[in-house]
Amino acid sequence: MNLAPTLNADLHCHSVISDGTLTPESLAARAKAGGVELWSLTDHDEIGGQQRAMDAARAIGLPYLTGTEISVSFANRVVHIVGLGFDHQAPEIVAGLRTTRGGREARAREMAAGLAQVGIKGAFEGALQYVGNPDLISRTHFARFLVEAGHCSDIPEVFRRFLTEGKPGFVPHKWAALKDAVGWITRAGGVAVIAHPGRYDFTPTEEYALITEFMAHGGRGIEVVTGSHTPAEFQQYADTALEFGLLASRGSDFHSPNESRIDLGTLPPLAARLTPVWAELADRIVG
């Protein structure tokens, strides 16, 4: 298989197993139809869709890497770490992700209580209507409910007004530790990747701390071309990847045909000067 930096790899998206609206099977078909040449399903804190994604990809001749996107607490912020090419049956990552998902229901009940205080009733039950996996109720499901119930006109508005720090439906939560998330992925034979680094609003000092701690724990990759980055950030994080000797990754972060700006496989390719994460994962590609 050709593993050049310009490969149309899409190594970040979400299914109904987390906060996407399509099944693993529909995503596989959509990726193939969109010209994706190497795919990964990276549900939040979940690998319950991996076997389905892998089987669906194999059936249509789409090369596949296992994936997940782990929620991590770092420097009072939430950082996402994508894992690629790990053994999805390795007991340590299975247990670690189960623990990471563990507090989501209690958090969701607290979010609903906060929303009730500003007059939005029934948000827990409302959000649950959109949940495909009862273990993984997320802010996205609340956002879908608030839009459908007419409280906001779109999902970004819900996050701005209700679901971000300091807003009525925001509940601080303790996620996985950076060291643990990177360790689970790495010890299961995969590569850990910092997801959408441009999204965290870190100062340069904080970003340096994230990257150096991540690397000290064995992390090796960073997303450069993602649906969350501007074209200027594609350049900026290409430089960051080269500066730190990190492997570059690419992924749309597709969630839903109705909500996502960027479809599977439609982003620009990685710059040829980068070493892509898939070059290091050749022996982990299935199909």
- Site of interaction with Mn ion (CB under 5 A): 19, 69, 80, 195, 253
The site partner of 151 among Mn ion, ligand AMP, none (C-beta below 5 to 8 Å per kind) is none
Smallest gap from residue 55 Cβ to ligand AMP (A) = 25
**SS3 labels along 138-163:** CHHHHHHHHHHCCCCCCHHHHHHHHH
**Residue for token digits 């990471």?**
100
Q: Which amino acid is at 69?
A: E
Contact 89, 165 (CB under 8 A): no
Q: What is the DSSP letter of 7?
A: S
Q: How far apart are CA 250 and CA 130, in angstroms?
A: 28
Smallest gap from residue 44 Cβ to ligand AMP (A) = 5
The residue within the footprint of ligand AMP, chosen from 139, 144, 229, 250 (CB under 6 A), is 139
Q: Does 102 bind ligand AMP (CB under 6 A)?
A: no
The residue within the footprint of ligand AMP, chosen from 19, 37, 43, 233 (CB under 6 A), is 19
Task: Give Cα 9 distance to the centre of its chain.
Answer: 15
List, in sequence order, every residue forming a beta bridge with 13; answer none if it has no partner: 254
Q: Does 255 bind ligand AMP (CB under 6 A)?
A: yes
The residue within the footprint of ligand AMP, chosen from 71, 240, 249, 252 (CB under 6 A), is 71
Q: Does 21 bind ligand AMP (CB under 6 A)?
A: no
Q: Which stretch binds ligand AMP (CB under 6 A): 81-89, 154-162, 177-185, 224-232?
A: 154-162
Please give the C-alpha separations between residue 99 and each of 46, 95, 104, in angstroms, as whole numbers. Answer: 11, 6, 10
Residue numbers at the binding site for ligand AMP (CB under 6 A):
19, 44, 71, 138-140, 155-156, 159, 255
